[in-house]
């Protein structure tokens, strides 16, 4: 597959087989992904790779807190509501996912169950927690670097048949994640990436999200062939 086809074929995976991922494989993925660009090559990212009992404790703690109504939070400034076309894009993929999963709009129990899947890291065998040093705050360049690393991870994993989901829900109870992933207090938790071998019998894995046309978000200036 050429690179263009490869990028178009990748998708987020939200259901995994039980097969564990060896540390050596995760390390190989990271070894490729770390060639991602960062500002001044500062590489201001850190990764805490979590599996086994530690990850199960994160799932349990996240679920317990969510069920108990502990408010979600993030360790960085964040806009919770998208607007206009961004909101339409968000709804578009949510509708695709809910249809594929057979979740009706007013089925509160199934919707709750779906939300909890995110807090449970989609039951993936491995979760990578991306963090950065607190001294970097407000850290906009580092957020950019973490995004670049995250996409590197997702692409490098896909090449090896490993599926990923970049998972914002997974860090919405950051105190739980910090405790069980053993993340020092002087690091900010940015995002998690759940990874494992895709279970293609899991309906949501058959969703292919859509993209808006280039003309809707790109402007060209000064080209001869405009």
Ligand X SMILES: Cc1cc2nc3c(=O)[nH]c(=O)nc-3n(C[C@H](O)[C@H](O)[C@H](O)COP(=O)(O)O)c2cc1C
Least separation in angstroms between residue 82's CB and ligand X is: 12
Q: Is 196 in the site for ligand X (CB under 6 A)?
A: no
Contact 13, 163 (CB under 8 A): yes
Q: Which of 175, 164, 64, 177 is nearest to 129 (CA)?
A: 177
Contact 95, 147 (CB under 8 A): no
Convert residues 11-30 into a mask of x (bound to ligand X by CB under 6 A) and - (unbound).
xx-x----------------
> SS3 helix, strand, coil % of the chain, rounded to 5?
50, 15, 35
Tell me the torsion sign for CA atoms 121, 122, 126, 130.
negative
Q: Is 168 in the site for ligand X (CB under 6 A)?
A: yes
Least separation in angstroms between residue 126's CB and ligand X is: 16
Segment near ligand X (CB under 6 A); pick from 8-16, 54-62, 72-80, 130-138: 8-16
In the list 93, 116, 136, 141, the residue contacting ligand X (rule: CB under 6 A) is: 93
Q: Which is nearer to ligand X, 23 or 206 (CB)?
A: 206
Least separation in angstroms between residue 166's CB and ligand X is: 4
CA distance 107 to 88: 21
Q: Which of residues 199-218 bind ligand X (CB under 6 A)?
A: 209
Q: Which is nearer to ligand X, 118 or 198 (CB)?
A: 118
Query: CA-CA distances (angstroms) from residue 198 to 16, 60, 110, 225?
Result: 5, 22, 22, 42
Q: Dig out the tokens for 16 from the structure.
A: 């995994």
Q: Is 131 in the site for ligand X (CB under 6 A)?
A: no
Segment near ligand X (CB under 6 A); pick from 6-14, 21-29, 33-41, 60-68: 6-14
CA distance 146 to 190: 8
Q: Is 157 in the site for ligand X (CB under 6 A)?
A: no
Query: CA-CA distances (angstroms) from residue 12 to 54, 124, 154, 206?
Result: 23, 12, 9, 10
In the list 149, 189, 191, 195, the residue contacting ligand X (rule: CB under 6 A) is: 191
Tell me, by CB under 6 A, how many residues bind ligand X. 12
CA distance 167 to 101: 18
Applying CB under 6 A, which residues contact ligand X?
A: 11-12, 14, 93, 118, 165-169, 191, 209
């Amino acid at each position: 597959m050429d690179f263009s086809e490869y990028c178009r074929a990748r998708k987020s995976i939200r259901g995994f087989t039980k097969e564990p991922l060896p540390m050596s494989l995760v390390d190989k993925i990271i070894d490729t992904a770390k060639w991602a660009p960062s500002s001044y090559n500062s590489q201001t990212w850190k990764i805490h790779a979590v599996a086994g009992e530690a990850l199960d404790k994160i799932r349990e703690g996240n679920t317990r807190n969510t069920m108990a109504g502990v408010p979600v939070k993030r360790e960085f400034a964040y806009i919770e509501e998208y607007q206009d076309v961004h909101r339409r894009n968000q709804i578009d993929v949510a509708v695709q996912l809910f249809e594929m999963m057979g979740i009706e709009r007013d089925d509160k129990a199934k919707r709750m169950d779906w939300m909890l899947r995110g807090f449970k890291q989609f039951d993936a065998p491995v979760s990578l927690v991306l963090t950065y040093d607190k001294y970097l705050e407000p850290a906009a360049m580092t957020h950019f670097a973490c995004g670049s690393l995250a996409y590197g991870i997702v692409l490098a994993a896909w090449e090896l048949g490993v599926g990923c989901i970049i998972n914002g829900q997974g860090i919405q109870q950051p105190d739980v994640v910090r405790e069980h992933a053993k993340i020092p207090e002087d690091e900010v938790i940015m995002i998690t990436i759940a990874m494992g071998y895709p279970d293609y019998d899991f309906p949501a894995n058959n969703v292919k999200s859509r993209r808006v046309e280039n003309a809707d978000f790109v402007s060209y200036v000064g080209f001869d062939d405009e």
